[in-house]
Chain A
């Protein structure tokens, strides 16, 4: 079983809609969770981090964490064409020397 799993997509939403991106992880020792955005041909950049159960909001982005279900999600409200990118879920497992493990990413396309 892969450590971090994401639906590779592509996920296509109309402009202004809510995009929902999902991620599951296998190690219950995972302690920290992150969403990176990667535009085509570019490097990943951190957009959200979440460490405890519940929701964390930052502008149009909301990260949700459910440790019991080993599930983390990212909601993007009022999606814009500029949000079109691959979204990478990443986790740090406790005791791993802060090793950041990435999923394979979900490609999001926002259609004008």
Chain B
């Protein structure tokens, strides 16, 4: 079974530039998550989708971050304009239906460095 795919793995940009990350979840997984993990910290949920609807985006900085999940499958997370503090690993995860079992399957992450 293919895992969660993410791209790009690494990205370096200047502050105020824009960046986009892509995620393709495990086939059949209805719920998709984007987490931000800053070095030395635990993952912080940015947004949670159930199919193509948003379940939780309370911690998404909406003035600069946006995310979409068209057709309820793959998803894109965009940052525009980027700030220095956005340097982090952006983790995409998926689960069958919600995370009642707590079992999220994570991709390898996209590491963003903002200079």
Q: Spell out A's residues near B (CB within 8 Å).
A: 4, 6, 8, 32-34, 42-46, 49, 88, 90, 92, 96-105
Contacts and interface: CB of A to CB of B under 8 A. Distances in A.
B40 A99 contact: no
Contact of B99 (A33, A45, A100, A104): A100
A43 B106 contact: yes
B69 to A, nearest CB: 15
How would you classify the secondary structure of chain A's contact residues: helix, strand, loop or mixed? strand
Interface centre among B42, B48, B91 (most CB of A within 10 A): B42
B40 A8 contact: yes
B100 A32 contact: yes
Interface of B: 31, 33, 35, 40-45, 48, 50, 55-56, 91, 98-104, 106-109
Given A43-B108, A44-B43, A105-B41, 17 more contacts: A4-B42, A6-B42, A44-B91, A45-B106, A46-B103, A49-B101, A49-B102, A88-B42, A90-B102, A92-B99, A98-B31, A98-B98, A99-B48, A100-B104, A101-B45, A102-B42, A102-B44
Contacts, number: 62
B56 A97 contact: yes
A90 B99 CA distance: 11
Contacts of B103: 46, 49
Contacts of B43: 44, 88, 102
**When A and B form their complex, which 3 residue pairs have the shortest distance between CB atoms, in order from nearest?**
A102-B42, A43-B106, A98-B98
Nearest to A44: B106
